[in-house]
Amino acid sequence: MDTPAPFRADLGRSVRLLRAFRLEQSNPDFFYGTLAMDTVAQLGTYTELAGATVADVGGGPGYFADALRAAGARPVCVDCDAGEMRLRDGRPPRDAVLGSALDLPLATGSVDVCFSSNVLEHVPDPLRMAAEMVRVTRPGGIVYLSYTVWLSLWGGHETSPWHYLGGHYAARRYTRRHGRRPKNVYGESMFAVGVARPLAWARRCPDAELLDAVPRYHPRWARHVVHLPGVRELVTWNLLLVLRRR
């Protein structure tokens, strides 16, 4: 994997990511590889990655861990699902640890960076996961936490856009149409997480300072949508919170 290019949050980047998202099911290596490279480049604008110990929470088969390693970091991939960790080549990622995001199997203050991409919406207690990420990060270290917003167009994941009529309805419709349950089942492995509550938590967190709150995939000029109550729930798509551990 090549070293990430300098990060630029411009319209061209947003278009490239949108095109990649269309290949998530048919070409996961391309999609996740593209997203991982972009994400690590973005993370590198907040902190030095060379030599940093990075916890990749919910890292699954290790696409992000590979991109982090290419940037000179020392990633530890933490995931609660051994099957997910083996999806790419039948083996878990290098330096992988089996454990829950709600009770991370890492010591307090043990990592320089705690990172998570699109996992928060898959846990039943998102603020507990966020607090765990802060706990395991050393003072001065960075927490990078991003997730898909429920009321965005992709909030229901593969059941979108029918999640607007209710998560349970969307899951039933998907099952009828495809003859199988969706991978992301509302109320079991996918939950309705908005912008307002996690953003309020980040602003008031006693153990960390909020450095940034942006729509992760949008151009820089659209970053202020997260500060528009109501509208932000629909247009943010994916919220990125960056905090520094106190």
How confident is the model at residue 47, as a pLDDT? 98
Q: Residue 185 phi/psi, 5° resolution? A: -100, 120
Instruction: Quote the CA–CA distance of 55 and 171 in Å, as a whole number.
Output: 32
Write out pLDDT tens, residues 38-59: 999 999 999 999 999 999 999 9
Average pLDDT over all residues of the chain: 94
Which helix (H) or strand (E) is 77 found in, with range? strand 74-79
> Where is average pLDDT lowest: 84-88, 180-184, 214-218?
84-88
How confident is the model at residue 132, as a pLDDT? 98
Which helix (H) or strand (E) is 239 found in, with range? strand 238-245
Which pTM value belongs to this model?
0.93
Instruction: Quote the CA–CA distance of 25 and 8 in Å, as a whole number.
Output: 26
Question: Residue 204: is its pLDDT beyond 80?
Answer: yes
Write out pLDDT tens, residues 128-175: 999 999 999 999 999 999 999 999 999 999 999 999 999 999 999 999
Q: How confident is the model at residue 18 (pLDDT cuts 50, 70, 90)?
A: confident
Write out pLDDT tens, residues 23-40: 777 788 888 889 999 999
165 exposure class (CB count in 10 Å sphere: 0-12, 13-18, 19+): exposed
Write b or e for each residue in 172-182: b if 16 or more Cβ atoms lie within 10 A of its Cβ, otherwise e.
bbbeeeeeeeb
